[in-house]
Amino acid sequence: MRWVTGQRVWGSRMLGGWMIKRFVDPKAEFVYVPNDTDPATVKDGTPWHIGSTAELSTHDGHAAWYWISKKYKLAEKDPVIAKMEAMFPLTRLAYVAMNEENAVIDDALPPGAPLEAAGLATVLYGVTVATKDPGEAMRLSGIIFDATYEALRAQLGRPRQTIDHSKHAVGG
């Protein structure tokens, strides 16, 4: 299936794309359109993370990845996803802070925030700086989210999985 999203790929869109490709539609094809595209004009594919009127867009105080997880019951089915969901808003705080001049990531996070939040923000920010190609950014972030998922899975005492990234390319 075709999934239509904005062409500026960053943390939240990366997480949503990974969730779609990993748990919802392994054969997903991502199509990138201008960020201000009206979701109602998308005729060939499922709009996500564009505008604020699409079902799977940022609205009502929640990012698109939240609505993807909710619609497909990802956190309900998988405690690792639930842990990632709890961590990602903190990751977003650190990520946003990186865009500010002279920002200190630790200052953006509340006391006791998991170290993984700042680390994940750092590598995702690095992806957005390293490549401007949205498909490549999604592919690279997919590998990062796979690794994060497996690390959190291990913390929860779950059996380790090996992922074949050649079959799980997140780029579109």
Residue-wise pLDDT for 19-74, tens only, equals: 999 999 999 999 999 989 999 999 999 999 998 888 999 888 888 999 999 999 99
Examine residue 164 and state whether it is found in any structural domain, yes or no: no
Examine residue 168 and state whether it is found in any structural domain, yes or no: no
pLDDT of 140 > 90? The answer is yes
State how many domains the chain has. Answer: 1
**Domain that residue 129 falls in:** 2-155
pLDDT band at 10 (very low <50, low <70, confident <90, very high): confident
Phi, psi of 30 (to 5 degrees): -90, 135
* pTM of the predicted model as reported, rounded to 2 decimal places: 0.86
Examine residue 40 and state whether it is found in any structural domain, yes or no: yes
Examine residue 162 and state whether it is found in any structural domain, yes or no: no
Q: What percent of the chain is predicted at pLDDT more than 90?
A: 54
pLDDT of 161 > 80? The answer is no
Examine residue 163 and state whether it is found in any structural domain, yes or no: no
CA atoms within 13 A on the CB side of 9: 33
Secondary structure string (H, E, C) spanning 65-119: HHHHHHHCCHHHHCHHHHHHHHHHHHHHHHHHHHCCCCCCHHHHCCCCCCHHHHH
d(CA 99, CA 8): 15
Examine residue 69 and state whether it is found in any structural domain, yes or no: yes
Examine residue 111 and state whether it is found in any structural domain, yes or no: yes
Examine residue 62 and state whether it is found in any structural domain, yes or no: yes
